[in-house]
Amino acid sequence: MTKKGLLWWIAAVAVLALVLAACQPEASDTEPQGGVDLPAQVEDRVMEMVAEEMNVEVPEVAFVSAEQIDWSDSCLGLGRPEESCAAVVTPGYRVVVEVNGEEVEVRTDTAGEQIRVATG
């Protein structure tokens, strides 16, 4: 390939790269709201647990948002000092619900078998 041909290919690739970069969606600094469809069984278990823990009826618990998260350990990142948590990535959800005007963060595994309310 000649020097002129090589320069033409480099220019074409550079232009293509710029066009593709311009087509990418903008990054957002905001937290996703309602980012994923939470499986019904997980949502039901979350609502029941929060209602029980906050001493309210299930209809008083309102879904706000959910996002998929890979938790850092088997305790969903909420291990207590007296607890031993396996250092294994645990896929799950960060769910936000509202009770009496207060937002509550709830962490779950993907099946909703382990659910913890984040306090503080």
Angle at 112 between CA 109 and CA 114, to 5 degrees: 65
SS3 100: coil
Q: How many domains does the chain have?
A: 1
Pairing type for strands 102-109 and 90-99 reads antiparallel
Phi, psi of 117 (to 5 degrees): -90, 125
pTM, two decimals, is 0.68
Cβ(79)–Cβ(85) under 8 Å? yes
pLDDT, one tens digit per residue, over 82-103 is 999 999 999 999 999 999 999 9
- Segments forming the whole domain that contains residue 67: 40-118
Whether 104 is covered by a domain: the verdict is yes
| Residue 16, H or E segment | helix 3-22
CATH number at residue 95: 3.10.450
pLDDT, one tens digit per residue, over 65-82 is 999 999 999 999 999 889
Whether the predicted pLDDT of 43 surpasses 90? yes
Whether 71 is covered by a domain: the verdict is yes
Neighbouring-strand partners of residue 94: 67, 107
Whether 18 is covered by a domain: the verdict is no
Cβ(65)–Cβ(33) under 8 Å? yes
